[in-house]
Amino acid sequence: MIPNKAALENVITDLSSDDGCIIVEGKRDISALVALGIAKDRILQTAQIRYCDLEAKMRSGYKKLIPLFDNDRTGRNRLSSFMAYFSANGTPIDLSYSSRIKNSGLVCLEDIDNVVCS
């Protein structure tokens, strides 16, 4: 499936104006989002942070978490683990962006800048 560029552009526009903390899998995901204008200080990678540290970071000004994991087996497993931990703690989680990205046909988040900029 070829990713829907217009749908991804809308996601980026909406993410830019949202005040949530964006959670991604790794550095290349961060780079892709930053290349599209998302502030780097709003993005955290799960590969380098423990969930308890993520909670502490969220308490410093973020009202919700926005997980954006890849739509592959590893990404789905990470999302499941993430949801289990944070749902149990009552942390607000916004899955709408993840769903929109998945529905647009994008599998790997790190490719979002290539699709949007093409």
Task: State pLDDT tens for residues 38-57.
Answer: 999 999 988 877 888 877 77
- The residues pairing with 93 across neighbouring beta strands, listed in sequence order, are 65
- d(CA 101, CA 11) in angstroms, rounded, equals 7
Which helix (H) or strand (E) covers residue 45, if one does? strand 43-45
- d(CA 65, CA 4) in angstroms, rounded, equals 24
Q: What is the pLDDT of residues 65-117, one digit of tens each?
A: 999 999 999 999 999 999 999 888 788 899 999 999 999 999 999 999 999 98
> Which pTM value belongs to this model?
0.91
- d(CA 25, CA 69) in angstroms, rounded, equals 6
Residue 74 token pair: 């590893």
The single-letter DSSP state of residue 118 is: -
